[in-house]
């Protein structure tokens, strides 16, 4: 097993990761020091995963996207996505849609049900979110963006945040204009995924536009996109001067990434990876939480996806483990398998990233 040990960064290079890395950010009555946030991921960051990531250091974790469409808004799936969590403060509900009045209604309803913050999704690259033009497709129509933001901000008394991309396509990176609009209309914080809509998930995220947005507005800016390890987190902060970071795919199968990033930013120390026992306990907690949340049929299927991510990240025999786990049909069989599971770690050097 090889990884760069748990040494102070000065042992690795002469850069101090903590320089300028810490910044204070307010969201309503909440205050965060350079928050590291779990990205909303539909079908992934449900309340079970969000709670595990918060327990491992994520400062907060917005809900998965919920549709503002009045028909879809009250399906059991959407209702479950915005069920308030007493221990998740602030509880942030993300809404998506293209109709200002519907978005305002959806925001009001979420606040009535316990949301502390509303997050507007203008980042989803799908042309149609829940059968409507929404997500980052809206970026092409700044007048509509303004109407949506104004409608939601005036509908609720809680902070409203916006999550978006750097623009429509590489020739139309309008994030700076959208950010100024958002600030003028009372948006409390902005998360930027460093890709345009047209770029979907291709290539590497670009952080220049995030840096330009940070310079252009006074509201907190959260940088998102391809933050995979503590060194990358430090580099993105240095490059963008963002107030916080949001981590999505790199947290799949690795809720510990939040603790590693936060420790490194605050102290320059690399935390050790979880032990095989810790991985096993996390898997058991995660999978049994999914069984409880979704019931046996759906829970066992959703558990396969998450367990597969843990195996891929932590086990050199991941393909075999995943195949074995995917054959298990019942909640009991999955839990029994995991009770006897020991991760056989891969080379873990990529957990920490490259010192710049
Ligand atoms: C499976 C999946 C589902 C996603 N669902 C949402 C969503 O519901 N709302 C949203 O704003 N972004 C969503 N995203 C985008 C992420 O929040 C994030 O912006 C993107 O993955 C880039 O961050 P990363 O490189 O750290 O993964 C989703 C991404 C993935 C991979």
Q: Model confidence over 340-356: pLDDT tens digits?
A: 999 888 778 778 887 65
Picking from 66, 146, 53, 158, the residue whose alpha carbon sits closest to that of residue 116 is: 158
Residue whose CB lies within 8 A of the most ligand 1 atoms, among 40, 58, 139, for a mutation test: 40
Q: Is 58 helix (H, G, I), strand (E, B) or coil?
A: coil
Count Cα atoms within 13 angstroms, Cβ side, for 271. 18
pLDDT at 255: 98
- For residue 132, is pLDDT > 70? no
Quick check: helix, strand or coil at residue 242? coil
* Confidence (pLDDT) at 203: 83
Quick count: other Cβ atoms within 10 Å of Cβ 59? 21
Q: Which of 13-27, 109-123, 311-325 has the lowest mean pLDDT?
A: 13-27
d(CA 177, CA 278): 45
* pLDDT higher at 129 or 86: 86
Give the C-alpha separation, 242 to 216, whole Å. Answer: 12
Q: What pLDDT was estimated at residue 276?
A: 95
This prediction's pTM:
0.93
Q: How confident is the model over 270-314, as pLDDT tens digits?
A: 999 999 999 999 999 999 999 999 999 999 999 999 999 999 999
Backbone angles phi, psi at 343, to 5 degrees: -70, 135
Find how far residue 225's CA is from the centre of its chain: 10
Taking a C-beta distance cutoff of 8 angstroms, is the pair 262, 57 a contact? yes
User: Which candidate, 171, 246, 181, 266, places its Cα nearest to that of 209?
Assistant: 171
94 lines ligand 1 (CB under 6 A): yes
Q: 């220049």: which residue's tokens?
A: 208
Question: How far apart are the CA of 72 and the centre of ligand 1, in A?
Answer: 20
How distant is the alpha carbon of residue 278 from its chain centre?
Answer: 22
Atom index in ligand 1 nearest the CA of residue 65 equals: 8
- Range with the poorest average pLDDT among 13-27, 80-94, 240-254, 305-319: 13-27
**pLDDT, position 338:** 98
Q: Based on the number of CB atoms within 10 Å of its own CB, is 87 exposed (0-12), middle (13-18) or buried (19 or more)?
A: exposed
What is 17-267's CATH number, 3.20.20.70, 2.60.40.420, 3.40.50.970, 3.40.50.300? 3.20.20.70
Q: Whose CA is nearest to atom 14 of ligand 1?
A: 41
Q: What is the model's pLDDT at position 87?
A: 77
Q: What is the pLDDT of residue 13?
A: 42
Query: What is the rounded CA–CA span in Å between residue 122 and residue 136?
Result: 4
Taking residues 188-192, what's their average pLDDT?
A: 97
Q: Which atom of ligand 1 is nearest to the CA of 205?
A: 25
Distance CA 20, CA 228 (A): 20
Question: Which residues have a Cβ under 8 Å from the Cβ of 44 and sit 6 or more positions away?
Answer: 64, 252, 305, 306
> What is the 102 CA–ligand 1 centroid distance (Å)?
23
Report the C-alpha gap between 351 and 260 in whole angstroms: 9
What average pLDDT does the structure give for the chain?
89
Give me the phi and psi of 94, to 5 degrees please: -95, 135
Closest CA to 173 of 191, 149, 141, 197: 197
- From atom 26 of ligand 1, which residue's Cα is the shortest distance away? 248
Tell me what pLDDT residue 18 has. Answer: 52
**Ligand 1 atom 4 nearest Cα:** 41
CA of 154 to the centre of ligand 1 (A): 27
Q: What confidence tier does 9 reach under pLDDT thresholds 50, 70, 90?
A: very low
* Terminal alpha carbon distance of the chain: 23
Strands 36-38 and 65-67 turn out to be unpaired
How many Cα atoms sit within 13 Å of 95 on the Cβ side?
32
| Whole-number Å distance between alpha carbons of 117 and 133 | 24
* Residue 83: pLDDT band with limits 50, 70, 90: confident
pLDDT band at 76 (very low <50, low <70, confident <90, very high): confident
The answer, yes or no, to whether residue 223 has pLDDT greater than 90, is yes
Task: Tell me which of 227, 248, 309 to substitute to probe ligand 1's pocket, judged by most ligand atoms within 8 Å of the beta carbon.
Answer: 248
Q: For ligand 1, atom 15, which residue shows the shortest CA distance? A: 41
The mean pLDDT of 51-65, rounded to a whole number, is 96
pLDDT band at 78 (very low <50, low <70, confident <90, very high): confident
Any residues with CB less than 8 A from the CB of 151 and at least 6 apart, and which?
100, 101, 103, 104
Q: What is the pLDDT of residues 245-274, one digit of tens each?
A: 999 999 999 999 999 999 999 999 999 999
More confident site: 46 or 170: 46
Q: Is the CB of 56 under 6 A from ligand 1?
A: no
The verdict on whether 231 is a catalytic residue reads no
**Largest Cα span, the chain:** 57
The whole-number average pLDDT for the span 98-111 is 95
Instruction: Give CA–CA dist 96/122, Å, rounded.
Output: 7
The percentage of residues in the chain with a pLDDT greater than 90, rounded to a whole number, is 72
**Residue 317 pLDDT more than 70?**
yes
pLDDT reported for residue 54:
97
User: Residue 345: its pLDDT value, please?
Assistant: 86
Is the CB–ligand 1 distance for residue 64 below 6 Å? yes
Residue 48: per-residue pLDDT:
96
Residue nearest to atom 3 of ligand 1 (CA): 41
Mean pLDDT value of segment 126-135: 55
Given the DSSP bridges, would you call strands 221-224 and 92-96 parallel, antiparallel or unpaired? unpaired
**From the CA of 191, how far away is ligand 1's center (Å)?**
11
Cα(76)–Cα(86) distance, integer angstroms: 20
Overall average pLDDT of the 52-66 stretch: 96
Determine the average pLDDT of the residues in 87-106. 93
Domain ranges of the chain: 17-267, 276-349
Distance of alpha carbon 138 from alpha carbon 355, whole angstroms? 38
Ligand 1 neighbourhood includes 226 CB (under 6 angstroms)? yes
Average pLDDT over residues 174-197: 95
Does the C-beta of 96 come closer than 6 Å to ligand 1? no
Say whether 309 sits in a helix, a strand or coil. Answer: helix
101/97 Cα distance (integer angstroms): 10
Q: How far is the CA of 344 from the centre of ligand 1 (A)?
A: 29
Q: Is the CB of 289 under 6 A from ligand 1?
A: no
pLDDT at 134 over 90: no
Our CA angle for 182, 187, 191, nearest 5°, is 80
């Amino acid at each position: 097993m090889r990884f760069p040990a748990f040494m102070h960064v000065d042992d690795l290079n002469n850069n101090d990761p903590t320089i300028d890395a810490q910044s204070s950010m307010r969201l309503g009555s909440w205050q965060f020091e350079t928050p590291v946030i779990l990205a909303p991921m539909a079908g992934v960051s449900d309340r079970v995963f969000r709670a595990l990531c918060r327990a491992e250091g994520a400062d907060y974790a917005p809900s998965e996207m919920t549709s503002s469409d009045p028909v879809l808004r009250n399906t059991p799936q959407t209702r479950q996505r915005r069920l308030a969590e007493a221990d998740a403060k602030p509880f942030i509900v993300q809404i998506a849609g293209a109709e200002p009045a519907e978005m305002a209604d959806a925001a009001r309803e979420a606040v009535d049900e316990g949301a502390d913050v509303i997050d507007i999704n203008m980042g989803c690259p799908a042309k149609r979110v829940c059968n409507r033009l929404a997500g980052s497709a809206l970026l092409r129509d700044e007048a509509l963006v303004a109407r949506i933001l104004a409608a939601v901000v005036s509908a609720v008394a809680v902070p409203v945040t916006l999550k978006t991309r750097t623009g429509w396509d590489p020739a139309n990176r309008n994030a700076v204009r959208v950010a100024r609009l958002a600030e003028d209309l009372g948006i409390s914080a902005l998360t930027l995924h460093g890709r345009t809509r047209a770029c979907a998930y291709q290539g590497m995220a670009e952080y220049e536009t995030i840096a330009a947005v940070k310079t252009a507005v006074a509201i907190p800016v959260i940088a998102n996109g391809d933050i995979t390890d503590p060194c990358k987190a430090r580099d993105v902060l240095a490059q963008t001067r963002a107030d916080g970071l949001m981590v999505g795919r790199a947290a799949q199968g690795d809720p510990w990434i939040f603790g590693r990033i936060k420790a490194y930013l605050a102290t320059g120390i690399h935390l050790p990876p979880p032990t095989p026992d810790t991985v096993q306990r996390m898997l058991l907690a995660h999978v049994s939480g999914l069984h409880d949340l979704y019931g046996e049929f759906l829970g066992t299927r959703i558990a396969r996806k998450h367990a597969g991510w843990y195996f891929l990240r932590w086990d050199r025999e991941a393909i075999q483990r995943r195949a074995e786990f995917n054959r298990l049909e019942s909640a009991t069989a999955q839990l029994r398998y995991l009770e006897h599971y020991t991760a056989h770690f891969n080379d873990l050097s990529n957990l920490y990233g490259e010192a710049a």
